[in-house]
Chain A
Amino acid sequence: MGDQAQILPGTLDLLILKAVSLGPLHGYGVLLRIGQISGQALLIEQGALYPALFRLVRQGLLTADWGISENNRKAKFYELTVAGRKRLGEELEGWNRLAAAMSTALDARPEEV
């Protein structure tokens, strides 16, 4: 597990929204999708995923519905709502600004100060 990074606090919601924006997913699928799109670099605690999902549903960013999974099992599928898509955009923009600022800040060299 050494090559997997702990996700930054507050970024779990963003990752979930992103994962679900690529297509409806059940809970375990969200986990797999995040692993897949991060190149298996980001580790999400399995038990922590669901409270986050429920929170997003309550905020109206996701909808949840029971269906049948690719394994032919009962599963609850999550889908992005319009509000969720809008929020994803805002969060992405915010993240990009933060990332740019962070990398600029961390690239600073003594002669630039």
Chain B
Amino acid sequence: MNFPGNIFGYLRCLGAKWFRRSHLADEMEDEVRSHLEHRADDLARTGMSRAAAERQARIEFGARGRYREESYQALGGSLIQGVFQDVQFAVRILRKSPGFVCAAVVTLALAIGANAVVFSIMNAFVLRPLNVPDPQSVYELQHGDEASGYESYPNYLDIRDRNHTFDSVMASNILPVGLDSGENPTREWVVEVSGNYFDGLQLQPYLGHFFHATDEHGPNSAPYIVLSHAFWHTHFQDDRGVIGRVVQVDRHPFTIIGVAPPGFAGTLLFFNPGFYVPIVNHSQLGVNDMNARESRWIFMTMGRLKKGVKPAQAMADLNAIGAELRRSYPKQVGNMTFSLASPALYGDYLGKPVKAFMAGLMLLAALILLAACANLGSLFSARAADRAKEVALRLALGSNRRRILRALFTEAILVSLLGGAVGLLGSVVLLRALSAWQPFPRWPIHVPVNPDARVYLVALMLTLASGLLFGAVPVKQILHANPYEIVKAGSMGRAGGKISLRDVLLVAQIAICAVLVTASLVAVRGLAHSLHDDFGFRMDNTMLVDTDLSTAGYPVDRVPAMQKRMIETLETTPGVESVGLNDNVPLGDGSEDTTVYTDATTALEPVNAACHPTVYSVSPGYFHAAGTALLQGREFTWHDDQGAPRVAIVNPEFARKLFGSPENAMGRFFKLRDGARAQVIGLVEQGKYLALTEAPQPAIFLPILQNPSTNTWLVVHSNRDPVPLAQAMRKRLQQLDPGLPFYIQPRIGEMDPILFGPRMATMALGVMGMMGAMLAITGVFAMAAYSVSKRMRELGIRIALGARRREVLLSALGRAFKLLAVGSGTGLLLGILASRVLAMIVLKATPDDPLVLTGAVLAMAALGLVATWIPAQRALGIDPMTLLREA
């Protein structure tokens, strides 16, 4: 009682100050007192006693409340004062039922909070534009046939120089580098950008200056670094003297020339690079030949549209260039069409699923709010019925219905504002934590989702709208109230068997809750299942060590020897069973695909490709270490090198695509992208490569010595929990080369990015399901409590006449149970239907699972039990004697 009392006291005080009302009220009271004293003086002069005279004076004056109200109106404050009066009245009424207020505020706080959080995330991901001047005219040049923006450097140059529709076309590429600024070398993520990048985005440096297109004078001509503001802050402690400093990047000297503005963290929304380096220096940071037209290594190209040019015109322009390039370089360039997309979420690649997911989440949040409103609506109308006598009296005494409705709405809005404020406060705390959260430690990925003015506005609108919505539920009840009947009968009760709006609302709410409970159970089960699935490699007792040898400055010719030494070093670490090397790991965060041709193909052009398998370069012993079963043939050996015939190990899907069936594949030949013939010497089990939910994909494995790569993933299998091994492995690798930055993690850790979507979906559903359950509990509770309190007398009579506990319960709560059953049934059915959609995000999410069904039914039953427990106790605890005496 004390807690809400304090709040209300404070609010009232605040309100009084705000409207300067207390001063006015004091003056009015003074004037009435003066009037009464003068009148009493006159009356006393006629011989009345002073006390009698004062009494008479008060009687003559009439109702003071009316005087006050009319005076306020006369003083012109009618609107504000009226509202204030309403508020004051509402506060007084609400103070009388702190339990009701708390329940309503908590319910609404949850619902509004959920909406604020979801909207804030959507705001950050989808609605907020890129933080550059005139963001609307910056587009990613996305491929027409797939949601990606990859491009080769020569193609980029041609697009940049030949188009007529863009002011500038920029290129950017993400890669890890080894940064040595005097301390231990660390691995940092950087963005290689074309010289026109900052100018094209129309950015101004925070400190120093940017590099420009005019700085590009051929390969490795611009060894400059522009730091991101955050990296400058964390790694250089805001040191302004950093400009002009020379640091080692992949063991090449680079000069820091500037710091980017604080609001700009790259053109990819979620990716926060440490610094920017000119793309012309690419060959110092990677082994790719940047001038190979067939190698599409640039992550993304972007353009800023010329003023007045429509996206469609630009697309036509780009497609014309694409066709031209295709004609000039048929061997290197495939089908080349373009569409324009927003660069923030890498075009449609992330943009589409993120938008769909956010829309789904927003819909769910809206459902929660709707459920909360339904809930509060029935709470309010139950209250209106409870207060029937009061309302009837006020009507009978001449108050008009409009006035009473206004009071009801004021109460509703007051409760909703309180709930909205609490909810918003909670969501701000949560969003702060989310903004600082970095889900994948290997990647500089985080998104600031702090709420802005738009979020606050939406929260306020939602709060007011829901207040009006649930405030409107009891309106009909009030409008149709007949004061005479109510005062006579004592309640605004409804006819026995009729289905009321309140029942429908409650059923809808229980159904919504059941949908959420079912869906979240399905998702949790699916996620648990999917982690025990067979991915074609071992998950437990396995660690991954990854590095890119180019970040330590290894020239291509020294890479294989170093890789072999790394394998040997780790193999001799105590506890390690086997070690294998791969240039990318399946279900990891990188992958490469290639183009292959049948052995009979002579015109090696992309259009004649037989298949586009994922390709891995692996060391001898890789399959053994990774736990991938070799079905036929042999593993690679260290003799499968540049001098030996080209060989490959393939998976069943690839064999099926190229040779008709896995049995046919052994010993057969196919042609690689460069035209070399490779012989199939082994067949390994089918695995998952890019996504948990993918259909069987073709994949080939090539010997690392024949297909070298600086990208190095070492799969370390040990005979015990490998985590304690990490220390020993780190030490040994550092002894091998102290300047080599690398990263060690358990196998499952590398799957974080792939599991991120399903995990988030499951968590979101779980949270929503829990909130739905809480809402349904309050809803059923309100209904049951109401129905018991309305029928106290009847139940008392039944008990007095010898009714048993079961019968009492049935008659008191039968309706609640019936509604619960109908709602749960409907909800379960809808939930099962909705779960089919879920299966697209969460592998193995299927509602055809006895555990899910029992779980959902049990959850709903438990929910019913919790919600009706107190009313049931109350019904059973009725003492007929007391009741009859009171009546």
How long is the Cα–Cα vector from A31 to B227 in the complex, in angstroms?
Answer: 84
A contact residues around B35 at 8 Å (CB): 26-28, 46, 50
Check A47/B38 contact, CB under 8 A, given A54-B74, A58-B76. Answer: no
Q: Is the CB of A27 within 8 A of B34?
A: yes
**CA distance in complex: A51, B35 (Å):** 14
- For this complex, 27 residue pairs linking A to B, each with C-beta atoms less than 8 Å apart, are A27-B31, A27-B35, A28-B34, A29-B38, A45-B62, A46-B61, A46-B62, A47-B61, A47-B64, A47-B66, A50-B28, A50-B71, A51-B70, A51-B73, A51-B74, A52-B74, A58-B76, A69-B34, A71-B37, A71-B38, A71-B41, A73-B34, A73-B41, A74-B30, A74-B34, A76-B30, A76-B34
Give the contacts of B48-79 with A (CB-CB under 8 A).
60-64, 66-67, 70-71, 73-76
User: Do most interface residues of chain A lie in helix, strand or loop, or is the interface mixed?
Assistant: helix
Nearest neighbor of A73 in chain B, beta-carbon distance: B37
CA distance A45 to B60 in the complex (A): 8
**A50 engages B30 (CB within 8 Å):** no
Bound complex: CA of A28 vs CA of B75, how far in Å?
A: 19
- Give every chain A residue within 8 A of B34 (Cβ-Cβ): 26-28, 69, 73-76
A48 interface residue (CB < 8 Å to B): yes
Contacts of A29 in B (CB 8 A): 38
Instruction: Give the nearest-CB partner of B27 in chain A.
Output: A76
A55 beta carbon closer than 8 Å to chain B = yes
* A51 CB contacts on chain B under 8 angstroms: 67, 70-71, 73-74
B residues within 8 A CB of A69? 34, 38
Per the bound structure, the CA–CA distance linking A49 and B38 in Å amounts to: 15
Please name all residues of chain A whose beta carbon is closer than 8 Å to the beta carbon of B730 when the two chains form the complex: none
Q: Which residues of A contact B39 (CB under 8 A)?
A: 28, 46
Please pick, from B30, B64, B66, B75, the residue contacting A58 in the complex, using a CB distance under 8 A.
B75
A109 nearest CB across to chain B (Å): 43
Q: Which residues of A contact B73 (CB under 8 A)?
A: 51
Closest approach, in angstroms, between the C-beta of B422 and any C-beta of chain A?
40
CB-CB under 8 A from A55, the residues of chain B are 74
Give B479-497 as 1s and 0s: 1 = Cβ < 8 Å from A's Cβ atoms.
0000000000000000000
In the assembled complex, the Cα of A46 lies from the Cα of B32 at a distance in Å of 10
Taking A47-B67, A54-B75 as given, write out 15 further A-B residue pairs in contact, using a Cβ cutoff of 8 Å, ordered by the A residue number. A26-B35, A28-B34, A28-B35, A28-B39, A46-B39, A47-B61, A47-B70, A48-B70, A51-B74, A52-B74, A53-B74, A71-B41, A74-B30, A74-B34, A76-B34
> How far apart are A85's CB and chain B's nearest CB, in angstroms?
21
Distance in angstroms from A13 CB to nearest chain B CB is: 11
Chain A positions near chain B (C-beta within 8 angstroms): 26-29, 45-48, 50-55, 58, 69, 71, 73-76
Residues of the A chain whose Cβ atoms lie less than 8 Å from the Cβ of B41: 71, 73
**Nearest 8 interchain pairs by C-beta:** A47-B62, A51-B70, A28-B38, A54-B74, A51-B74, A55-B74, A47-B67, A75-B34
Contacts of B70 in A (CB 8 A): 47-48, 50-51
Min CB gap A12→B, angstroms: 12
Which of B41, B63, B66, B73 has the largest count of A CB atoms less than 10 A from its CB? B41
A76 to B32, CA, bound (A): 10
Complex: A76 Cα to B71 Cα, angstroms: 15
Given contacts A48-B70, A51-B70, A58-B75, contact A26 B38 (CB under 8 A): yes
Contact B75 A50 (CB under 8 A): no
* A45 to B, closest residue via Cβ: B62
A73 B38 Cβ-Cβ under 8 A: yes
How many Å from the CB of A45 to the closest CB on chain B?
7
Interface string of B24-48 (1 = CB under 8 A from A): 0000101110110111010000000
A75 to B119, CA, bound (A): 59
Chain B residues positioned under 8 Å from A26 (CB to CB) = 34-35, 38
Interface residues as binary, B629-662 with A (CB distance below 8 Å gives 1, 0 otherwise) = 0000000000000000000000000000000000
Enumerate chain A residues within 8 angstroms of B60, measured Cβ to Cβ: 46
What's the least CB distance linking A34 to chain B, in Å? 14
